[in-house]
């Protein structure tokens, strides 16, 4: 658990060195820790302190392939989370 998380984080941080401008608006992209809401079918998994690149202009978030892979793996394998929160759902008629 610890392992796969820190490996993805390391790979993400290394990759973040390469990309500097936003694909969509050519704005400046900076390294940030974000709270990423990962959707997997009907499931929602939240990753806190996820390293990502975020455009300072349009807010587009870039996640590395390693991060995405780790998120899918952790979700699929139902790795025990650090904590769980209840998420309210409102269904519109
Ligand atoms: Zn942008």
Distance between CA atoms of residues 69 and 40, nearest Å:
12
Going from the Cα of 66 to the center of ligand 1, the distance in angstroms, rounded, reads: 22
pLDDT digit string (tens) for the chain, length 93 residues: 568 888 888 887 776 555 589 999 999 999 999 999 999 888 899 999 999 999 999 999 999 999 999 999 999 999 999 999 998 999 999
- Domain around 55: 2-76
**Cα(91) to centroid of ligand 1, in Å?**
32
The confidence score (pLDDT) of residue 69 equals 95
Residue 86 forms part of a structural domain: no
The pTM for the full model equals 0.76
| Residue positions counted in the chain | 93
CA of 28 to the centre of ligand 1 (A): 7
CA 36 to each of CA 14, 23, 63, 71: distance values in angstroms, whole numbers, following the listed order:
19, 19, 9, 10
Q: What is the 61 CA–ligand 1 centroid distance (Å)?
A: 9
> How many domains is the chain built from?
1
What CATH number does residue 10 fall under? 3.10.20.860
Residue 88 lies in a domain: no
What is the C-alpha to C-alpha distance for residues 17 and 53, in angstroms, rounded to an integer? 10
């Amino acid at each position: 658990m610890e392992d796969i998380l820190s490996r993805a984080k390391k790979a993400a941080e290394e990759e973040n060195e390469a990309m500097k401008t936003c694909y969509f608006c050519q704005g400046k992209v900076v390294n940030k820790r974000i709270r990423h809401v990962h959707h997997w079918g009907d499931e929602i998994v939240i990753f806190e302190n996820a390293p990502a690149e975020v455009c300072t202009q349009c807010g587009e978030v870039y996640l590395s392939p390693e991060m995405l892979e780790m998120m899918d793996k952790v979700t699929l394998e139902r790795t025990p989370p650090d904590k769980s929160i209840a998420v309210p759902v409102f269904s519109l008629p």
